Structure 1
């Protein structure tokens, strides 16, 4: 599944130079990942199962400044599924256009909250993640 999460750029998102501060993109990307997950699973059931999600790496490429009053969309999809980790790809675009503002690859693991360690992505868990990936194409 691919989701599109709209965000309006506000004055408090800006830095000294009048464009969105690089650190704010982490928040935009996080908001979009939550949106993606909420459309896929019941978050309370997931966390109630003793599993959690942990980001282990983020790579962001900044392509164009974003400015107050502009509207962006964060397009999120599951790009890669490994043995113990997966990668979400996120494009930040000007809403209604193909203009790329930033793009990111976010690597995450599914954790056993009690043991505080990553679990192998297998069985039912892997099947669920594979449907997310298949629907992202």
Structure 2
């Protein structure tokens, strides 16, 4: 497994709920932001995927909420792709507060869809390797 990719996100006031902490759904948005930022860091643009009629898809996502986040909190959102065999891969993410406290753990199963056939490609790892300018970002 490679070193986790990470991106900084500061909690914005409009993302909080009536209790003053980050709305539960926004954790998923932070995780999504980190995944797309990782693709960009690895040299894969959304346009590159679309030109090849490919699109990343989330098949399963689990969030474990550990600590509340409040407006103004700075977080680090990590992202690691865990490659296996077959059509899917795992994505492990941690949302940490500036002091290192884990605020949430996001774990998911993803795939790479052939947008014409509407089916998962057989070996997403090879597609990522071929598209990436920096495959090491993805542990390849």
**TM-score under structure 1 length normalisation:** 0.87
Q: Is the 8 A contact 1:80 1:133 kept in 2?
A: no
For the residues of structure 2 that align with 1:15 and 1:124, how far apart are their CA atoms? 41
Which one is further off, 43-52 or 68-77? 43-52
Q: Which runs of 5+ in 1 are unaligned?
A: none
Q: In structure 2, what is the equivalent of residue 32 of structure 1?
A: 34
Q: Structure 2: which 5+ runs fail to align?
A: none
Q: 2:139 maps to what in 1? A: 134
Q: Does 1:116 align with 2:121?
A: no
Q: Across the two proteins, how many residue pairs are aligned to each other?
A: 134
TM-score, reference length from structure 2: 0.85
What is the RMSD computed on CA atoms of the aligned residues? 2.1
Is the alpha carbon distance of 1:99 and 1:122 closer, same or farther for their aligned partners in structure 2, counting shifts above 3 Å?
Answer: closer
* Aligned-pair CA distance for 1:126: 6.6
C-alpha displacement of 1:10 = 1.3
**Residues 59-85 of structure 1: CA deviation (Å, up to 9, x unaligned):** 000000001111001011112433010
**Residues 41, 137 of structure 2: 8 Å contact kept:** no
- Structure 1 residue ranges (4+ consecutive) displaced by more than 6 angstroms after TM superposition: none
